[in-house]
Amino acid sequence: MRVLLAEDDAMLGRATCLGLMQSGYAVDWVTSAEQGLAALDTQNYDCVLLDLGLPGMSGEECLRVMRTQARYTPVIIITARGHVEDRIQLLDEGADDYLVKPFDLDEVAARVRAVVRRAQVGDVGEEDVVHGPLTLQPASRSVLWNGRHVALTTKEFWVLELLMRRRSRTVSRQQIEEALYGWGEEIESNAVQVHIHHLRRKLDPRLIITTRGMGYQLAPAQMLNSDQGVQAGGEAA
């Protein structure tokens, strides 16, 4: 899951980035509304954390521009203004949630999860995704194999979710990296391969097909329904 943070306070920006990254999010951090809008032109985000008191264009004006341009990415406003009237005004202008400074970093991660879930209601995002014996439950971040829970790390879950939502297509390593890691975040050259290896080991060696030079794709559901595969869940916890 990828988050765009627009915050000009260096200390708060660093702390928020670190907190979200520790929760498994990929974070891109900009310090102005103009930079934020430019980032939205080049990258898809699951959520935007938008400070109101940005230099130049304000966060409030940035929000109006986003909604005028039919950008419906969930937006959480960050501000020191905590009056009810301010909250109502910003929610009416298209904000999805509101965080008053100072805030707890665990709460930020929880608010991001909540607004993304709400945005996915009515889409395939909130419903269980089923592929043969594999069931992915986005709302609870759970994975079942033949009805048994299998424990995955946050990034393993997101790799699997990306592959399941695009199971009719091959997903490149670059696309996976962009979904998992933020700007400037150090990425080991074999990071994606490691996540794929762990998913195969925890679920079924046949689960993910590698197309050399192109990327990864889920194996056909009928192949996974065969009883000849490994009994996954042995490493579930």
State pLDDT tens for residues 22-43: 888 889 999 999 999 999 998 8
Q: Is the pLDDT of residue 193 over 70?
A: yes
State pLDDT tens for residues 57-116: 999 999 999 988 878 889 999 988 777 788 788 888 889 888 888 888 888 988 898 888
Does residue 87 form part of some domain? yes
Q: Per the structure, how many domains does the chain have?
A: 2
Does residue 170 form part of some domain? yes
Q: 3-state DSSP call for residue 183?
A: coil
Nearest CA-CA partner of 112 in 10, 16, 39: 16
Does residue 179 form part of some domain? yes
Q: Do β-strands 129-131 and 134-137 pair in parallel, antiparallel, or remain unpaired? A: antiparallel
Same domain, 99 and 8: yes
Same domain, 15 and 72: yes
Distance, in Å, from the CA atom of 61 to the CA atom of 84, rounded to the nearest integer, reads 19
Same domain, 72 and 116: yes
The domain that holds 43 is classified in CATH as 3.40.50.2300
Does residue 192 form part of some domain? yes
Same domain, 111 and 7: yes
The residue range of the domain holding 174 is 129-224
209, containing H or E segment: strand 208-211
149, containing H or E segment: strand 148-149
Same domain, 173 and 201: yes
